[in-house]
Amino acid sequence: MERPRVFPRVFFGIKPQRCATCSKTSGLLLCGGCKVTSYCGREHQVSDRLKHKSICKEVKTSREKLEREEAVLRALPPNPTFPEDVFTNGVGRFWGLIETRDYMSARFGAADTLIRADTWLSVQKALEHQMDMLRLCGIDNMGIRDYIPALMIRLGQEQECYDFLKWWATCHPDGRYDSGDVSLPFLNIRNADPFEPIDPFRSGSLSLSQLSILTLLKLGLFLDLDHIKTKDEERAFGFGGVFGRPNNDSDDEFGLYRPRGNIVKAYIQQPENRRNASAMAERLEGQYKELCSMVQNVNSHFWETLVDNETLDPPSSCSIGSPEDAALAVIQVKAAWEESWGAIQMAEHETSKYVAKHTSPGASTSNAQPPSNDRVVVLCLEEERMFNAIHGHLIKAITTNREIERAKTPDEAILALSHAGTPSIILIVDGAITHHNKVSQCVSDCLRTGSTVVACGRFSSLVNAGEFNRFFSRLGFPSWTRGAYYRTNTSLRREVVGNALANKLPATYSQKTLYVAGPDRSAMWYTDPESPSATQAAAALVKVGNGKLGYIGDVNGEKETTKVVLAMCGLL
């Protein structure tokens, strides 16, 4: 499967400490409450007060609680089961000392709140807390080790992250390592080779979140090194400095065109490594893809949860491999993935082959009724203004026959699809649905109940390969994949639509379109007559259960396309 072309990472990790209002990075003052949010002056602090107040109070409250618990713990007199000066003599076995648990819980809460404050300083302080908690309790009863790698990645500590992961993967090969024995080496791996094969990680010792961060780290190295290879190829052909790119490896004005990770920046300083950049990039890509598969085998819900935009709440409990397990891991790692630009896009593309078809009705549609004859729901969850500008004639044409209900948010979409009777027609006019699994589930339920669902409008313009492939896989068509993209004169296949409908449709028209590859020939409405393979369609419609699924790839909203949409919906 061809991988998507992405730019190198725009930035690596959380942005440096800056004014929360204007992003100024010098002359900063810390908020006196949370002590982790910065402002360039009082004016901007006052203007941000309403937005900042809630998290500021949480950080301050959790810090003060931790301070109280620490004071209580230090004041406790020793007894036969509790040592004197517990912060010195209890190191390595804190959780085993009952008296320390309130303190450890308070410190866990303080670190969690700092992570949610989401500034460079707060993330750094959270990491410091968690590393010290591991020092105090190496057996890690609280699962701190699952949070740390993501924080390291966010702070640009790639090497430290790799060392940390490798230690956890290899510390007890015979199963006899005693985490409570402070005389044994602990987190003592330094400067391990992050380019090495992934053999040390095949033992299954890493947790789901740790394994996903290892995947991200390898992917980041690949993206950075692949970019170096691309720049060297440009120079070899005399294209150095094109498109505003600097003809060197230094930072450019926008920070877009250099490898952001310190590991690759150091690696390419060796001439031999630079000459072998292409081969190493290829090996890293293979490692990253294998790690994607390993993550999938550990938890088949992880990748879908990672790419979804649903807000997640920490589960009260979870079992290995469960959806709740995936949700907890995503909570721990998603910020790190999002802050490495292009990473989720790449993972989305690579893991689209794992997407499971929606099969059982969602709980909200278990009593779904056959579609009414007049409800038309348009899912326009983003880019509504652009859709109106380009496809206004489509809306006008539909409203001459039917009233339109627009859903502009995921909640509105779920309500329209599952609580007001099954619509007869559902138009998906942008790509936001690909990141809202619950909305996609509702669409699938309606489709099989009898709705006609057509992906049209801005959908083809706003989805990448991974999003495109996931969308159709969820609806039961994994063979429908993102195809070619070009303008040509497309021709109607009369034998597919029938003469009566063909007489109402343009026999041929020019359109710039994103083709769908893989539909059965019987589903292809418009194709490129000059295409040698005839395996791709500019427009396709297929029966699914009691409903129909359509796709129209026109990106410019041609007037002729409006007729095609109406025809697919039975309105022509």
End-to-end CA distance of the chain: 38
**Same domain for 196 and 309?**
yes
**Same domain for 169 and 106?**
no
| Number of folded domains that form the chain | 3
**Same domain for 376 and 509?**
yes
In the predicted model, what is the mean pLDDT of residues 150-158? 96
Give domain status of residue 423, yes or no.
yes
**Same domain for 312 and 403?**
no
Say how far apart CA 116 and CA 57 lie, in whole Å.
Answer: 12
Give domain status of residue 130, yes or no.
no
Say how far apart CA 427 and CA 379 lie, in whole Å.
Answer: 6
Tokens 């942008």 belong to which residue? 430
**Same domain for 329 and 466?**
no
Question: Exposed (0-12), middle (13-18) or buried (19+): which is 317, by Cβ within 10 Å?
Answer: exposed
Give domain status of residue 343, yes or no.
yes
Name the residue range of residue 409's domain: 363-568
Give domain status of residue 133, yes or no.
no
**pLDDT score recorded for residue 9:** 41
Give domain status of residue 134, yes or no.
no
**Same domain for 252 and 311?**
yes
Give strand ranges (E) for 277-407: 376-379, 404-407
Question: Please, which residues bridge with residue 550 across strands?
Answer: 454, 541
**Same domain for 394 and 336?**
no
Cβ neighbours of residue 117 closer than 8 Å, sequence gap 6 or more: 34, 36, 37, 55, 58, 59
**Same domain for 188 and 105?**
no
* H-helix or E-strand spanning residue 324: helix 323-338
- Closest C-alpha to 327, from 347, 345, 309, 301: 301
Give domain status of residue 135, yes or no.
no
Cβ neighbours of residue 153 closer than 8 Å, sequence gap 6 or more: 13, 161, 213, 216, 217, 220, 336, 339, 340
What are the structure tokens assigned to 379, written together?
């899912």
Least confident of 101-110, 133-142, 409-418, 532-541: 532-541
What average pLDDT does the structure give for the chain?
89
Inform me whether the pLDDT recorded for 472 exceeds 90: yes
Give helix then strand counts, H and E, for the chain: 22, 12
**Same domain for 164 and 235?**
yes
Say how far apart CA 471 and CA 30 lie, in whole Å.
Answer: 45
Would you say 292 and 215 are in contact if contact means Cβ atoms under 8 Å apart?
Answer: yes
**pLDDT score recorded for residue 12:** 58
Give domain status of residue 478, yes or no.
yes
Domain boundary among 302, 331, 354: 354
**pLDDT score recorded for residue 257:** 46
**Same domain for 394 and 451?**
yes
Domain boundary among 306, 334, 354: 354
Indicate the pairing of strand 404-407 with strand 376-379. parallel
Tokens 């290892």 belong to which residue? 214
In the predicted model, what is the mean pLDDT of residues 198-224? 95
**Same domain for 563 and 417?**
yes
Q: Give the ranges where 408-528 is alpha helix by DSSP (H).
A: 410-418, 437-449, 459-462, 465-474, 494-497, 499-502
Question: Percent of the chain, pLDDT > 90?
Answer: 77
The predicted-structure confidence for 487-522, as pLDDT tens digits, reads as follows 999 999 999 999 999 999 999 999 999 999 999 999
CA distances from 444 to 92, 192, 522 (A): 52, 47, 22
Give domain status of residue 546, yes or no.
yes
- Closest C-alpha to 96, from 44, 162, 161, 142: 142
What are the structure tokens assigned to 167, written together?
């230690």
The predicted-structure confidence for 264-290, as pLDDT tens digits, reads as follows 999 999 999 999 999 999 999 999 999
**pLDDT score recorded for residue 236:** 55
In the predicted model, what is the mean pLDDT of residues 299-325? 94
DSSP state of 82: B
Inform me whether the pLDDT recorded for 256 exceeds 60: no
Give strand ranges (E) for 141-268: none
In the predicted model, what is the mean pLDDT of residues 246-269? 62
- Closest C-alpha to 484, from 527, 548, 432: 527
pTM, rounded to two decimals: 0.87
- Three-state secondary-structure class, residue 472: helix
For residue 247, name the pLDDT band (cuts at 50, 70, 90): very low
**Same domain for 337 and 226?**
yes
413 half-sphere exposure, CB direction, 13 A CA radius = 25
- Three-state secondary-structure class, residue 377: strand
Question: Exposed (0-12), middle (13-18) or buried (19+): which is 275, by Cβ within 10 Å?
Answer: exposed
Tokens 């990075």 belong to which residue? 25
Domain boundary among 332, 354, 376: 354
The predicted-structure confidence for 340-392, as pLDDT tens digits, reads as follows 888 999 999 999 999 988 775 544 444 456 676 689 999 999 877 888 888 88
In the predicted model, what is the mean pLDDT of residues 225-235? 70
In the predicted model, what is the mean pLDDT of residues 113-130? 98
Would you say 345 and 7 are in contact if contact means Cβ atoms under 8 Å apart?
Answer: no
Cβ neighbours of residue 416 closer than 8 Å, sequence gap 6 or more: 377, 405, 407, 423
Would you say 492 and 541 are in contact if contact means Cβ atoms under 8 Å apart?
Answer: no
